[in-house]
């Protein structure tokens, strides 16, 4: 979140016509749950546009960008790299070390979220390969649980700047208010 050192999400791999919604949900989850930015592959322009549109309407700051070199982003990242994979170490065993690196050592954190096959280089370049369970489920679910644990729930208290609208929590029903900023 913006009071800490940066947390970025990198979506690795995207098959057009098949992954649009998953890649969009990765981006929206990164935004809603406290990351500062997301990169998506350069063939995922539709997902990029949707995330940018939500940020325009519901607020930021949050950056979404295309990249033609996801592995370049990993190699050049000045901080620590977490790769989420069902083959990795158990999140409950390593989350404390990752939080300490982020919060005590002010290390920026890059969270890599794969689609299907992830090149073996990524496993080697990551500082941590982390499994949110060692079961097959969803990269969106894994990212969500990881962010909630990294921030220990502080991301839920985040305030949003430059929003056109805001949702007011309700016991029953829906309330959306326009935000009238000076």
Among 13, 88, 102, 151, binds a second copy (CB under 8 A): 88
- DSSP tag of 83: E
9 closest CA partner among 105, 106, 143: 143
Supply the minimum distance, in Å, between the C-beta of residue 36 and a second copy. Answer: 15
33 scored as a contact of a second copy (CB under 8 A): yes
- Cα 18 from Cα 158, distance rounded (Å): 32
Binding mask 122-161 for a second copy (x = CB under 8 A): -xx-x--x-xxxxxxxx-xxxxxx--xx---x-xxx--x-
Supply the minimum distance, in Å, between the C-beta of residue 11 and a second copy. Answer: 13
SS (H, E, C) 103-146: HCCCCCEEEEEECCCCCHHHHHHCCEEEECCCCCCCHHHHHHHH
Residues near a second copy (CB under 8 A), total:
56
Instruction: Output 90 or 106, the one with its CB closest to a second copy.
Output: 90
81 scored as a contact of a second copy (CB under 8 A): no
Supply the minimum distance, in Å, between the C-beta of residue 148 and a second copy. Answer: 5
Q: Is 66 left (phi over 0), alpha (psi -120 to 50) or beta?
A: beta
Per the listing, tokens 């073996």 go with: 120
120 scored as a contact of a second copy (CB under 8 A): yes
Instruction: Output 57 or 106, the one with its CB closest to a second copy.
Output: 57
13 scored as a contact of a second copy (CB under 8 A): no
Supply the minimum distance, in Å, between the C-beta of residue 43 and a second copy. Answer: 17
Q: Where are the strands (E) in the chain, listed by range? A: 7-12, 37-41, 63-67, 80-90, 109-114, 128-131, 165-167, 176-178
């Amino acid at each position: 979140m913006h009071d800490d050192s940066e947390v970025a999400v990198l979506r690795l791999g995207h098959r057009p016509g098949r992954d649009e919604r998953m890649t969009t949900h990765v981006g929206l989850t990164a935004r809603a749950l406290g990351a500062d930015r997301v990169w998506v592959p350069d063939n995922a322009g539709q997902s990029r546009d949707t995330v940018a549109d939500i940020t325009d309407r519901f607020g930021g700051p949050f950056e979404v960008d295309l990249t033609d070199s996801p592995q370049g982003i990993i190699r050049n990242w000045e901080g620590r790299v977490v790769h989420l994979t069902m083959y990795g170490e158990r999140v409950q065993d390593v989350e404390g070390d990752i939080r300490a690196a982020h919060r005590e050592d002010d290390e920026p954190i890059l969270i890599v979220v794969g689609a299907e096959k992830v090149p073996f280089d990524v496993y080697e370049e990551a500082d941590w390969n982390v499994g949110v369970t060692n079961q097959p489920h969803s990269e969106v679910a894994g990212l969500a649980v990881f962010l909630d644990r990294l921030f220990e729930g502080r991301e839920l208290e985040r305030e949003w700047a430059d929003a056109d609208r805001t949702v007011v929590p309700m016991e029953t029903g829906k309330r959306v208010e326009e935000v009238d900023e000076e």
